[in-house]
Amino acid sequence: MGEFADGLAAVPLIWRIAAGAVLGAIIGSFLATLAIRWPQGESASAGRSRCDSCDQTLGVFDLIPLIGYFANRGRCRNCRAVIDQIHPLTEIAAALVGALAISIQPNLHGVAGAILGWALLLLAVLDIRHFWLPDRVTLPLILVGLGAAWMFGAPSPLSAAIGAAAGYLLLTIINLLYRALRGRNGLGGGDSKLMAAIGAWLGWEMLPLILLLASTSGLIAVLIFAVRGRAISGADRLPFGAFLALVAWPLWLARDALGGILPGL
């Protein structure tokens, strides 16, 4: 592991950024396919890649992340249907995750952080589009986070274990209180499991800040909807898991800087 870390750190920064971005874009293409097919009960790995509209098998050039999309002007070459923007947006986001993780942490910890970012990106997309945080992503993410804490020591294994338990209990208790007051759930079970995964990766000390920033992001989204003429009522659903995911990964990146502010990190 030490030899890998030393070798990766010796690679010039521009090449680390490029490699992380290319790998991220490739993974982002797969994540976009997952986000489209999973909710429909389909497997993303079964069969060849195809157009979402006409089912035409895609050629090699069409499968090149971002390049294929922009070269075809965002349309299928066969049927000219508009390609779902989830493809380029997810590929760009995943490329940024890969580039930032490997450039800031040029070691196995950075690779683990990239995996965290890509998993959170998939969960954010699924929650925004379908209000769905699948156990097959959140539960393994908890275990991998605990393993990463044991391997890298940041956060400490104890902080990660407490974070996983506290993260789950925190949102579960909030939902129970909300249901007692309003007679319905305010959060889904997937939100609690995602918070557990985030606690495992970042430690219990980060949970209050994550909850504060995610809640603030949700309020900002409500205000934006209101300004644009779409009022949000108490019966409307918001993808809170997406807000959790979108604030958790930047905080993972900033962990070293925050260590001087939040004791125990």
Exposure string of 10-23, with b = 16+ CB inside 10 Å and e = fewer, is eeeeeebbbbbbeb
Which residues are CB-neighbours of 151 under 8 A, at least 6 positions away? Answer: 108, 112
Q: Where are the domains of the chain?
A: 1-106, 132-265
Q: Are 190 and 138 in contact (CB under 8 A)?
A: yes
Amino acid at 207: L
Six-digit token string for 142: 């908890």
* Burial of residue 210 (number of CB atoms within 10 Å: 0-12, 13-18, 19+): buried
Q: Give me the pLDDT at residue 138, please.
A: 97
Q: State the Cα–Cα distance between residues 206 and 237, nearest whole angstrom.
A: 26
SS3 letters for 66-133?
CHHHHHCCCECCCCCCECCCHHHHHHHHHHHHHHHHHHHCCCHHHHHHHHHHHHHHHHHHHHHHHCCC
For the beta carbon of residue 237, count every other beta carbon within 10 angstroms: 9
Crossing angle, helix 86-104 and helix 108-130, to 10 degrees? 160
Amino acid at 41: G
Minimal CA–CA distance to 150: which of 209, 102, 108? 108
Q: Are 121 and 28 in contact (CB under 8 A)?
A: yes
Amino acid at 6: D
For the chain, which ranges sit under pLDDT 70?
1-7, 44-48, 231-235, 256-265
